[in-house]
Chain A
Amino acid sequence: MMPQTPMANDKTLLRMEDVSIVFSSPDEADIEAVRQVDFTLTRGKTLALVGESGCGKSVTARTILRLLDKNARIPSGRILFSPGDGETTDIATLNPDSTAMRSIRGNKISMIFQEPMSSLSPVHTIGAQIDEMILLHENLDKKGARARTIELLEQVGIPGARQRADAYPFQLSGGLRQRAMIAMALACKPDLLIADEPTTALDVTTQAQILDLLRSLRDEFGMAMLFITHDLGVVAEIADEVAVMYLGDVVEQGDVFDVFKSPQHPYTRALMSSIPRMTRRADRQRLNPIQGTVPSPKNRPSGCAFTTRCPHAFEPCAAVRPEPTGTSENHWARCHLLTDPQAPRVDGLIQPKVEGGSDAYQGDRT
């Protein structure tokens, strides 16, 4: 097998390189919420960004759209966006309020949020809100925009779209509101849709409907999706690829089938053994949760972020940050267990041979 690391190619739509995000506050030390994150988004594919509260997944997503508050900055890294016209823009260098950024935001990259009630305007009809979006980015008059709005509302499965366009958000159910927000996000046929926990506030049957909808729209529009969730079940349902975040680090990324079958980072493995499996009584296993709680970003070890809770942590973990190491095609993880010949042996990990370690998949960052 070839060593695989996050590499860019012509199928790459967006590539995060070494992106750090720092929040400053007047009376506290700066907090690095996201540390040197790398991941790649492929055209037409869905990447799920998964992790627990506070791991930096939403901050990462908002950074792509430059939607962070004024006290956030990006001290290092590039966010390379290649929408397919041969040009590549580094979003990290753009001014959030610039014309260039505004022509990307909502147009080429759009976003849907967890709680549609708080992200839609309560005093405008959903039709008016979608019209506005279309008028802003496309060369259409009011009438044309409304026709397009109704078409979009139909596409996202809102019954009676023509009448519903004149409804206010509070008049719609949670599922319909989420559909309206999706319609708005799709208004300009984005290349990338960022979905931040879009089904978390919904009931399971509504969630299943919205996941079905997002899957079919992705195929229809040929867009890529960055799907942020804490729910591994949802990841398994919708993702092509998955990136696992812990305390501001992406610790593992890979093909969804590969990562679920053979997770390589101890944190990913711990997450997987924390969820109850859908098994019969006889096969039931007691959950094996991660001990302790996530430390605050202030107390993050300088090495691997997971050191303090990792059952396999050994000598280099606390001080040296592991490099991304390819373990199979399109699958890499940041863990010393995968590179250090002296590391303790762990079942299921692809580790270097003990003698000499010559067979190790020594991944290097590119």
Chain B
Amino acid sequence: MTALLEVENLTKTFSMRSGMFGDTITLDALVDINLKVEKGETLAIVGESGCGKTTLGRCIARALDPTSGSVSYTPEPGKTIELSSLSKRELKPWRQDIRMIFQDPMSSLNPYMRVFDLVAEPLRIHKLARGAELEQRVVSALDKVGIPRDALQRFPHAFSGGQRQRIGIARALVLDPKLVIADEAVSALDVSIQAQILNLLEDLKTDFGLTYLFISHDLGVVNYIADRVAVMYLGHVVETAPTEALFERPRHPYTEVLLEALPIADPTRRAQRHEAVKGEIPFLGNRPKGCPFHTRCRFAEDKCRAEKPELRPINGGPTYAACHFAETIELKGAYDDAPATGTYA
């Protein structure tokens, strides 16, 4: 596998004025993010509100301009494009390759546009098709996502949430993208609809060889759909690992906290639960010195308060964690019984 996308030392800083006459303060939404997205995989970005997962997705899609660092995109071997430094005009052809799907299909579809025009819009913007070909491509994209032909002339309000999400997916698919960034794409949906969309995303991935960057706060969904997971906390990536390794044996205490907090639809597992983690996520503008998680971590020592841990391979990989004690601490995973073969012990 080759890395389709490589993010290096990506930093995004927002400035904000506190109060009407106050000083300008800067918030580091992303701090030195390093990530690789392999071709054909589903990489999930997980974390709680404000951890920077959406900002990261937007910086990659260049819906936001990163403050520093690089995002390099390799559509084919030997051809690497540095997306973060391109001008708007230079970037345009690559926008076909990297598409986004958003959380709320109501606010991401223009209510005054008909389904046909919504899906045709990207083709028109990129001047890729017109006339009969345009129509054929729109119909085929809608077919792929299961929207019937007689819906072409309707407006978004005539559709249910699940169908609207399908239209949003068709808008992304119509340009034959390579990488799809799905930002909480199933979070606003009811469970039965969510399952339909998850199955659809999976089928589309197989059929069109897509790569997904799947941004989500729902670890149950992530365990189901992702090949690899990156966990974010306060603008840092604190752990990346293959999905099963992460859920079997997390290496960063925050990952364990997230897994512990996940409600599992099995009442018999209630007894196994610890008490929830104490405290709240600190304000981004007031990020703790040292390890960003030390204020809530049950293993925190002086070293954690003084020295910021780097994201590093644990026991030779493939798990990376940013914790001084990742090798030694015993953390609890999310799976029920003992590991079948002890692969990740």
Chain A contact residues, CB within 8 Å of chain B? 52-53, 173, 175-176, 203-209, 211-212, 230-237, 239, 256-257, 260, 270-282, 284, 286-290, 293
Contact A232 B190 (CB under 8 A): no
Task: Choose among B191, B217, B340 the residue that contacts A280 (Cβ–Cβ < 8 A).
Answer: B340
A234 is contacted by which of B257, B263, B276 (Cβ under 8 Å)? B263
Hey, which chain A residues are within 8 Å of B90, CB to CB?
none
Check B8 for interface membership: any CB of A closer than 8 A.
no
A residues near B192, Cβ cutoff 8 Å? 52, 270-271, 274, 289-290
Taking CB atoms, residues of chain A closer than 8 Å to B23 are none
The answer, yes or no, to whether B270 is at the interface (CB within 8 Å) is: yes
Q: With A208-B276, A234-B263, A236-B267 in contact, is A279–B335 under 8 Å at CB?
A: yes
Closest to A258 in B: B267
Q: Which residue of B161, B195, B264, B278 contacts A287 across the interface (Cβ within 8 Å)?
A: B195
Nearest chain B residue, comparing its CB with the CB of A176:
B280
How far does the Cβ of A41 sit from chain B's closest Cβ, in whole Å? 18
Q: Which residues of B contact A53 (CB under 8 A)?
A: 161, 190
Q: How far is the CA of A232 from the CA of B202 in the complex (A)?
A: 23
Stretch at the interface among B73-81, B168-176, B220-228: B220-228
Closest to A209 in B: B276
Q: A52-B191, A278-B335, A280-B244 are in contact. Are A236 and B162 (CB under 8 A)?
A: no
The answer on a CB contact under 8 Å between B190 and A237 is no
- The smallest beta-carbon distance between A265 and chain B, in angstroms, is 14
Asked, given contacts A274-B194, A279-B335, A293-B193, whether A287 binds B263 with beta carbons under 8 Å apart, the answer is: no
- Residues of chain A lying within 8 A (CB to CB) of residue B266: 236, 260, 278
Check A276 against B335 for contact (C-beta < 8 Å).
no
Determine the residue in chain A with the shortest Cβ distance to B243: A281
Cα A309 to Cα B307 in complex, Å, equals: 57
A-B contact pairs, 25 of them (CB 8 A): A52-B190, A203-B48, A203-B217, A204-B219, A207-B263, A208-B263, A230-B190, A232-B265, A233-B265, A256-B267, A257-B267, A260-B268, A274-B192, A275-B220, A276-B220, A276-B221, A278-B220, A278-B262, A278-B335, A281-B243, A284-B224, A286-B202, A289-B192, A289-B193, A289-B199
B261 near A208 with CB under 8 A, answer: yes
Please give me the residue from chain A that is nearest to B51 by CB atom.
A203
- CB < 8 Å neighbour of B265 from A208, A212, A275, A280: A275
Tell whether, in the assembled complex, residue A274 and residue B261 are in contact, meaning their CB atoms are under 8 Å apart: no
> Whole-angstrom distance between the alpha carbons of A52 and B189 in the complex?
9
Given A236-B267, A276-B224, 17 other A-B residues pairs in contact with their CB atoms under 8 A: A203-B217, A204-B219, A204-B263, A207-B261, A207-B263, A208-B260, A208-B277, A209-B276, A236-B269, A276-B223, A277-B265, A278-B334, A279-B223, A279-B336, A287-B199, A289-B199, A290-B192
Q: Chain A's nearest CB lies how many Å from the CB of B237?
A: 18
- Give complex CA distance A271, B194 in Å: 11
- Whether B244 pairs with A281 at a CB distance below 8 angstroms is yes
Q: How large, as a class, is the contact surface on chain B? A: 35 or more
Most interface-central of B161, B193, B247, B336 (chain A CB within 10 A): B193
Inter-chain contact A204/B160, CB cutoff 8 Å:
no
Chain A residue with the shortest CB-CB distance to B248: A280
State whether A205 and B277 are in contact (beta carbons under 8 Å apart), knowing that A233-B265, A278-B334 are contacts in the complex: yes
Contact status B268-A257, CB under 8 Å: yes
CA distance A280 to B335 in the complex (A): 7
Which residues in B have their C-beta under 8 angstroms from that of A288? 195
Interface centre among A204, A260, A274, A282 (most CB of B within 10 A): A204
Distance A284 CA – B221 CA, assembled complex (angstroms)? 12
Query: Which of the residues A233, A277, A280 comes within 8 Å of B262, measured between beta carbons?
Result: A233
In the assembly, what is the distance between CA of A9 and CA of B274, in Å? 35
User: Are A289 and B247 CB-contacts (below 8 A) given A204-B48, A204-B262, A275-B191?
Assistant: no
- A236 to B269 Cα, complex, angstroms: 9
B275 proximal to A (CB < 8 A)? yes
Chain A min CB distance to B66 (Å)? 25
Determine how close the nearest CB of chain A comes to the CB of B112; give it in whole angstroms. 24
In the complex, what distance in Å separates the CA atom of A293 from the CA atom of B160? 8
Q: Could you tell me the distance in whole angstroms from the C-beta of A174 to the nearest C-beta in chain B?
A: 8
Say yes or no: B267 contacts A287, CB within 8 Å. Answer: no
* A211 in contact with B276 given A260-B267, A274-B192, A289-B193 (CB within 8 Å): yes
Closest chain A residue, CB of each to CB of B200 = A289
Q: Which B residues lie within 8 Å of A275 (CB)?
A: 191, 195, 220, 265
Q: Which residues of B contact A239 (CB under 8 A)?
A: 267
* Cα A32 to Cα B223 with chains together (Å): 39
Contact partner of A232 among B191, B278, B336, CB < 8 A? B191
Contacting residues, chain A, for B280 (C-beta < 8 A) = 173, 175-176, 206
A205 CA to B257 CA in the complex, in Å? Answer: 7
Say which residue of B194, B199, B217 sits within 8 Å of A204 (CB atoms): B217
Q: Is residue B284 within 8 Å, beta carbon to beta carbon, of the partner chain?
A: no
Q: Does B9 contact A (CB under 8 A)?
A: no
Q: Mark B19-58, 1 if CB is under 8 A from A, else 0.
A: 0000000000000000000000000000011000000000
CB A362 to nearest CB in B, in angstroms, measures: 29
A276 touches B267 (CB 8 A): no
A224 to B280, CA, bound (A): 28
Q: Closest approach, in angstroms, between the C-beta of A272 and any C-beta of chain B?
A: 7
Q: Is the pair B267, A233 in contact by a Cβ cutoff of 8 Å? A: no
Docked Cα-Cα span, A273 to B224, in Å, equals: 13
